[in-house]
Chains A and B, each alone.
Chain A
Amino acid sequence: MPVRLWRTPLDIEKVKLPKAEIHITKDQCNGCGYCIQYCPKKVLEESEEINARGVHPPRVVDEGKCIVCGFCTAVCPDFAIFVVEKQCEGGCYV
């Protein structure tokens, strides 16, 4: 019988998933859009504001969705974004 997640798993409270703090150095962003495109959780989007380099830096849509994989940090050609793991009491829960 195929497993369908129609019922909230009973141990969901026990699941520790990292919580993120996303830091964007807006004026260093050059607007390539890689962080937005390749974020596996689609946490980022292009903002309307225009930065010192005349581009639209990314904006965080939902920090809660971020799982701190750090790909945005690694793929950013301008060192304009980085993510640190939030420190919660005994780990953060879903």
Chain B
Amino acid sequence: MSTELVHPLSKYLRAAMMPHIWCSGCGNGIILNCFVQAIDELQMDLNKLVVVSGIGCIGRVAGYANTNSFHTTHGRPIAFATGVKLANPELEVVIISGDGDLFAIGGNHFIHAARRNLGVKVICANNFNYGMTGGQQGPTTPLEAFTTTTPYGNIEHPFNLVHLASASGATYVARWTTLHVRRLTQSIKKLLQKEGFSFIEVVSPCPEIYGRQNKMRTGLEMMEWFRRASVVEHFSDPAKAEITREKIVVGEFVDTKKPSYEKLLHEKIAQVGKEAGKWGEQCAS
């Protein structure tokens, strides 16, 4: 059991930033692991890859992936990514952020990017609460769940993220848990190869903050919940895929094709103007 060999994925991580800040049992590390694994399997050009994140525990992921990365303000990664993707469509822009960042404060940007079918890719770590600020109720907190701001049990109905995404027009929608690492990796590969707005929800354990308050004190307990409750059902009705204690429907929900916003935009430009296609000329000069 020597350790002189290096981890096969270490080249995709910023050594200076390791080890990461995440708690023991936190699913964010698994998501990062699957993400870089997917990049490795696709042999992607890291120079053409931009990882954008927002605020929250998972927000740090941008710093950890050894590629172009930007850590924006709370809720705004998709808006920022819109600028990046339109300015240079050759860049593969991936937003990795949390449920609060993407669907509470950033909800508006999500649905509009999906509506426009902007060709950015969104991976959401859904941990059911605001972990970084100490476990407050959020847009995905299950009914009756306990958080530091729902001490008597949550009375708000949570978002069903896959339903929201497909209703908003995403061309690829999938849900996995951090236990489904193989499928998640394959799913991320698919996501990275889609043209239009694509979305993966990763149900992720937050034992230290959320679990503790809801009788799942360890990551293992939360992962066991995922193992017990999850059922793989591809292309089932996202409207019927609410996450409950008993059942977590995982799988692909949507996989369709339609021209991306930037494609249509640059077709227009090509048709209207003459100088279309000279991207980054300001930078190049």
Q: Do A and B contact each other directly (Cβ–Cβ < 8 Å)?
A: yes
Instruction: Give chain A's interface residues, CB within 8 Å of chain B.
Output: 21-26, 28, 30-34, 37-38, 53, 55, 60, 63, 71, 73-79, 82, 84
Find out whether the CB atom of A74 lies under 8 angstroms from the CB atom of B185.
Answer: yes
Q: Which 4 A-B pairs have the closest CB atoms?
A: A77-B29, A32-B25, A74-B181, A30-B24
Find out whether the CB atom of A75 lies under 8 angstroms from the CB atom of B24.
Answer: no
Q: Is the interface of A mostly helix, strand, loop or mixed?
A: mixed
Residues of B with C-beta under 8 A to A28: 18-19
Residues A79 and B1 in contact in the complex (CB < 8 Å), given A33-B219, A37-B220: no
Contact-size category for B: 20 to 34
Instruction: Give chain B's interface residues, CB within 8 Å of chain A.
Output: 1-3, 5, 7-10, 13, 18-20, 22-30, 32-34, 37, 178-179, 181-182, 185, 218-220, 223
Find out whether the CB atom of B19 lies under 8 angstroms from the CB atom of A30.
Answer: yes
Residues of A with C-beta under 8 A to B34: 74
Residues of B with C-beta under 8 A to A34: 25, 30, 219-220, 223
Find out whether the CB atom of A79 lies under 8 angstroms from the CB atom of B30.
Answer: no
Among A21, A31, A75, A79, the residue within 8 A (CB) of B7 is A79
* B181 closest partner in A (C-beta): A74
Q: 5 pairs across A/B with beta carbons < 8 Å?
A: A21-B1, A24-B3, A31-B24, A74-B37, A75-B178
Residues of A with C-beta under 8 A to B9: 79
Find out whether the CB atom of B33 lies under 8 angstroms from the CB atom of A25.
Answer: no
Given contacts A76-B33, A77-B32, 19 further A-B contacts (CB under 8 A): A23-B3, A23-B5, A28-B18, A30-B29, A32-B220, A33-B218, A33-B220, A34-B219, A34-B220, A63-B1, A73-B8, A74-B33, A74-B34, A74-B181, A75-B179, A76-B29, A77-B33, A79-B9, A79-B10
Residues of B with C-beta under 8 A to A79: 7, 9-10, 13, 18, 29, 33
How far is A63 from B2 in the complex, measured between Cα atoms in Å? 13
Find out whether the CB atom of B181 lies under 8 angstroms from the CB atom of A71.
Answer: yes
How far is A78 from B19 in the complex, measured between Cα atoms in Å? 7
Residues of A with C-beta under 8 A to B33: 74-77, 79
Residues of B with C-beta under 8 A to A71: 181
Find out whether the CB atom of A22 lies under 8 angstroms from the CB atom of B1.
Answer: yes
Residues of A with C-beta under 8 A to B220: 32-34, 37
Find out whether the CB atom of B26 lies under 8 angstroms from the CB atom of A77.
Answer: yes
Find out whether the CB atom of B29 lies under 8 angstroms from the CB atom of A78.
Answer: yes
Name the distance in Å between B73's Cβ and chain A's nearest Cβ. 26
Residues A53 and B5 in contact in the complex (CB < 8 Å), given A32-B25, A77-B26, A79-B33: no
Among A22, A32, A53, the residue within 8 A (CB) of B219 is A32
Among B2, B13, B30, the residue within 8 A (CB) of A23 is B2
Find out whether the CB atom of B18 lies under 8 angstroms from the CB atom of A32.
Answer: no
Residues A77 and B7 in contact in the complex (CB < 8 Å), given A23-B2, A34-B223: no
Residues of B with C-beta under 8 A to A30: 19, 22-25, 29
